[in-house]
């Protein structure tokens, strides 16, 4: 059993305000994701460094706006109905991965419209970058001592002082390892195989969905929502099901093979059908 100390959410304060560890993790995730994306673009002739920088701006807005709106709509909808201004109370925290993902999808769509690119080619480009932000986001949850797991007797169980005196699964670290580190390794390795258009996006959706669905079995459900069904099915698992379904569709969707040129090289194509 490991007993964790209470850590201030702030790196430092000036008066009652200051930068937070959680915010720092987002900054680190964005910067490393930006570095990796620019490194990735060097090997892709259809991507420029300026386009990567532009894409990062769209992605940041998508993550922040989508993450906040998604959290309010998916997890605090009744509170939003009571007070719509709660949407703007960012000092009280609250970000949703699924909302952030939807925000990035909208952002990438706008980016593709501006730069005349295929939407799936852009989501394929972003797919290996996403787990970097997920990893640091979950580390931020761990530092904040939030989103802890269920009580457990495993040797690595941790006592979260913001919860109670029971050792619990450190599900933030489970998610950082699976949805962040492992998924990143899988997607980078898969990208080196030059998969067909949309396959890398499908692998991300399916991989994240399966990992998140699994970790939810060990994670304490939101107290104001609880279990949706069967005394184990959570809101997080419900939101992953469309991801898994779309991911499987993209992965299993047959790709059109490139047909070889069957016209003999010694025949003039313009006269091949003349009689």
Contact status, residue 29 vs residue 37, Cβ threshold 8 Å: no
- Decide if pLDDT at 124 tops 90: yes
The number of beta carbons lying within 10 Å of the beta carbon of residue 120 is: 18
pLDDT digits (tens, 9 = 90+) for 11-34: 878 877 778 888 899 899 999 999
Query: What's the pTM?
Result: 0.85
Given pLDDT bands bounded at 50, 70 and 90, which one contains residue 257? low
Ordered by start, the domain boundaries in the chain are 19-254
Where is pLDDT greater, at 15 or 71?
Answer: 71
- Residue 85: the pLDDT is 80
Strands (E), 47-121: none
Write down the mean pLDDT value for the chain.
87
- Residue 71: the pLDDT is 85
Q: Any bridge partners for residue 168, and if so which?
A: 151, 158
- Residue 269: the pLDDT is 45
| For range 224-247, the mean pLDDT | 92
- Decide if pLDDT at 106 tops 50: yes
Q: Is 138 annotated as a binding residue?
A: yes
């Amino acid at each position: 059993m490991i007993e964790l100390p209470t850590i201030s959410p702030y790196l430092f304060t000036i008066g009652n305000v200051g930068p937070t560890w959680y915010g720092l993790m987002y900054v680190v995730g964005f910067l490393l994701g930006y570095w990796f994306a620019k490194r990735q673009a060097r090997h892709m002739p259809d991507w420029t460094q300026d386009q990567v920088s532009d894409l990062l701006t769209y992605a940041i807005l998508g993550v922040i706006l989508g993450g906040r709106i998604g959290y309010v709509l998916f997890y605090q909808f009744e509170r939003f109905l009571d007070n719509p201004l709660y949407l703007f109370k960012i000092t009280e925290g609250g970000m949703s991965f699924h909302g952030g993902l939807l925000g990035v999808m909208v952002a990438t769509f706008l980016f593709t419209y501006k730069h005349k690119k295929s939407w799936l080619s852009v989501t394929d480009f972003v797919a290996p970058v996403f787990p970097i932000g997920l990893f640091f986001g979950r580390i931020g949850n761990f530092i904040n001592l939030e989103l802890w797991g269920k009580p457990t007797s495993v040797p690595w169980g941790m006592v979260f002082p913001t919860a109670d005196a029971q050792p619990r699964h450190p599900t933030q670290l489970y998610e950082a390892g699976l949805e962040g580190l492992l998924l990143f390794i899988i997607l980078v390795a898969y990208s080196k195989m030059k998969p067909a258009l949309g396959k890398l996006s499908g692998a991300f959706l399916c991989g994240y969905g399966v990992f998140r669905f699994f970790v939810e079995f060990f994670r304490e459900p939101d107290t104001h929502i609880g279990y949706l069904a069967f005394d184990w099915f959570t809101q997080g698992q419900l939101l992953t099901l469309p991801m898994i379904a779309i991911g499987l569709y993209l992965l299993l969707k047959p790709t059109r093979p490139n047909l070889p040129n069957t016209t003999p090289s010694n025949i003039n194509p313009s006269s091949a059908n003349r009689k």
